[in-house]
Amino acid sequence: MKRRTYLATVGSTVAALPVALAGCSGAPGAGADDETPTDEDDVSGKTTETDDGGATDDEDGDSENGSGTVTAGPSEVDMVTDGDQYYFDPIGLFVEPGTTATWVNVSGAHSTVAYAESNDQAETTRIPSDAEPWSSEVLSEADATFEHTLETTGTYDYFCGPHKSLGMIGRLVVGEPGGPATEGQPPDGELPDSQTIVDQGAVSYGDFAG
């Protein structure tokens, strides 16, 4: 055991040597540097071409099938901590009835809780009267997700439990605007107008807050 430990220590010390050697023999070192970016360029170039081709074909197919109005985008909302900013992105999202919305914890620790008086912390109800409220746990691991299927048409306002008082709130419009959230603003901050969300499909946090 002691011998292994000793060898491992020597190994890590030796690892610093090639750097010094490369500095002494400039020609081989420069050759290696030239090759590496070329290889990467080739690989990424091929990958990008292949991906673009497939994606373009798919998008063309969807556009032709669609009616040409608002195309339903991804039903995902990121939950983000960025410095001293805490936000949902997009802050406003349109989905069709029956869509399962997915909140993805990108950074920090967040929850998604509907403004429904049956939920803790919600002092007011801002989802349609027949709608099912949701309330997630606080998601603290990166890429952790919470899903909720939205069946009832209307406007849904929601917040993050830990950052409610800091204005981390969001809005979903399902099918068309409706319900109590079409009047006024939630108690913790401002959200994009429901009809604007319908018209644009999604309103990014950067566009709204910036």
CA 33 vs. chain centroid, Å, equals: 36
CB of 107 to Cu ion, least distance (A): 10
Query: For Cu ion, which is the closer residue by CB, 163 or 171?
Result: 163
Q: Does 203 bind Cu ion (CB under 5 A)?
A: no
Residues 75-94 interacting with Cu ion (rule: CB under 5 A): 86
Six-digit token string for 168: 């981390």
Six-digit token string for 183: 């009047």
Phi and psi of 171, rounded to 5°?
-140, 140
Where does residue 150 rank: exposed (0-12), middle (13-18), buried (19+ CB within 10 A)? buried
- Residues 168, 174, 181, 191: which binds Cu ion (CB under 5 A)? 168
- Residues 89, 94, 156, 163: which binds Cu ion (CB under 5 A)? 163
Q: Does 172 bind Cu ion (CB under 5 A)?
A: no
Task: Tell me the site size for Cu ion, rule CB under 5 A.
Answer: 5
CA 177 vs. chain centroid, Å, equals: 24
Assign 3-class secondary structure to 126-174: CCCCCCCCCECCCECCCCCEEEEEECCCEEEEEECCCCHHHCCEEEEEE
User: Contact 164/109 with Cβ under 8 angstroms?
Assistant: no
Six-digit token string for 156: 């849904």
Q: Does 181 bind Cu ion (CB under 5 A)?
A: no
Q: Does 164 bind Cu ion (CB under 5 A)?
A: no
Q: Does 148 bind Cu ion (CB under 5 A)?
A: no
- Residues 101, 122, 131, 160: which binds Cu ion (CB under 5 A)? 160
Q: Does 173 bind Cu ion (CB under 5 A)?
A: no
CB of 86 to Cu ion, least distance (A): 5
With CA atoms as reference, report the closest residue to 159 among 201, 122, 197.
122
Query: For Cu ion, which is the closer residue by CB, 128 or 136?
Result: 136
- Residues 110, 126, 148, 164: which binds Cu ion (CB under 5 A)? 110
Which one of the spans 26-34, 115-123, 157-165, 171-179 is the region binding Cu ion (CB under 5 A)? 157-165
CB of 81 to Cu ion, least distance (A): 7
Contact footprint for Cu ion (CB under 5 A): 86, 110, 160, 163, 168
